[in-house]
Structure 1
C-alpha cells in the first residue's frame, strides 16, 4: 500500500469519526432502537456514496460554479437539520415518562434510514470537501478514475464501519441512556447540536454571503 493511500485512510477516518450532524442523528436513532440506529448509519453511508460519486464524476464542481445551486442546497440542508433539532428539543421537553424507545415512529428502520440519508446528502459542504480532497491523493501519472473510485470506496467503507459501531455502542448503553432523565438530557444535547448546525448552514445564504 502506497504512502498516499495510508495517509488518505487516516484523513478519511478522522473526517468520518468527527462529531457532527451525522453522528448526532445516528445517536438519536440508536436511542430508539438498535435497528433504527444501524438503519440511520446505513443511510448516512448512502449519502456519502452520493457525495463521493459526484466528486468522482466531477459533477460536484457544478455546485461551486453555480452559486445559486449551492445556496439552495445550503438552505435545504440547514432547514432539514434545524427541523430535526427542533423535534429533538420538543421531545426533551415532553413528559418525563416518555423515552426515545417509546416513540414507535422514530424507531422505524425505514424512517431512520431516510433520516440518515437526508442528513448527509443535504450537507452542502460535503461535495466541496470531496472535490477538493480526493485529487490531493491521486499520484502523478496515475489513472484518475480508478484511483478516485478507490478513495471514494474507502470513505464509504469507513462510514459503514464507524456509524453502525456507534449505533451498537449507544444501544449497549441503552439501559442507562434510556432512563427518562438521561434520555431527556441526551435528546436536549443532540437537539441543541442539530439546531445549532442547522442555523449555521442557514446563516450564510440568508445573510447573502
Structure 2
C-alpha cells in the first residue's frame, strides 16, 4: 500500500464515520442553535482537536496500550461517562432555571427575552472549544476506533507518527466540512431556533440523551 492509496482509503472510512449521527453532531448542532455560529465552530474545533490527539496517540501505540489494559480502559470509560452525565445534568438544570425565570416574569416580552437570551447566556469561545475537546478525549470509542483502524493504513517503512498526524488531519478536514455545513445550514432557520422555548426544548432533549448515553457507557454498553 502506497501513502496516497492509504490516505484515500482512510478518507473513505473516516468520512463514513463522520457523517454518522452521534454525540459530536448533537453537540455541534446544539451549540449552533443555542449559542450561535462562532461558539458552534469553537465546539467543532474542540472535537477535531481531540480527534487529532487520538490519531497521534494511536500512531505511537498509546491507544493499543489502552485497549490492552482493561483497567485503563475502564478508568477512561468511567471518566467519560461521568463527564457526559455532568454535561447532561448541567443542560437540564439550565433548562429548569430558564423555565423558572420565565414563569416568574409571567412570560412578558417573550420575543425580546428570547433574543437577549442567546447573548446573555452565551459561553466563551474557549469554553466551547474545551467542551468539544473534553467530549472527544473522554470518549473511549474514539481510542478504540483509531487503535483498530489507523495501523491498517500505515504503509511499511513510513513514519508512524507522521502518518498518524496526516490521517487524523484528513479526518479533521472531513469533520470540518461536515460540521461547517451543519452550522451554516442551521443559521438559515436561526430566527426561529433562537426562541427561548426552542432552546429549552433542545437543552432538555440533548441533556437527557447525554445522561442516558453516559449511563450506557458506564455500564459498558455498546
TM-score where L is the length of structure 1: 0.85
Consecutive unaligned residues of structure 1, counting only runs of 5 or more, are: none
Distance (whole Å) between structure 1 residues aligned to residue 94 and residue 172 of structure 2:
31
Distance (whole Å) between structure 2 residues aligned to residue 106 and residue 53 of structure 1:
32
- Alpha-carbon contact 1:101-1:178 (below 8 Å) kept: no
2:132 to 91, 94, 116: 116
Mapping 1:51-130, distance limit 5 Å: 51-93=54-96, 94-95=98-99, 102=117, 104=120, 106-130=122-146
Larger radius of gyration: 2
In the TM superposition, what is the alpha-carbon distance from 1:6 to its structure 2 partner?
3.3
Is 1:34 aligned to 2:40, yes or no?
no
Kindly tell me: are residues 100 and 154 of structure 1, through their superposed partners in 2, closer, same or farther at Cα, counting changes over 3 Å?
farther
3-state DSSP of counterpart to 2:21: coil
Aligned to 1:50: 53
Is 1:173 aligned to 2:189, yes or no?
yes
Q: CA RMSD in A?
A: 2.5
**Cα distance per residue 1:16-53 (max 9 Å; x no partner):** 22222211221222221211111111100001011011
In the TM superposition, what is the alpha-carbon distance from 1:12 to its structure 2 partner?
0.6
Is 1:18 aligned to 2:20, yes or no?
yes
TM-score where L is the length of structure 2: 0.80
Consecutive unaligned residues of structure 2, counting only runs of 5 or more, are: 103-109
Query: How many residue pairs get matched?
Result: 204
Aligned to 2:106: none
Aligned to 2:158: 143
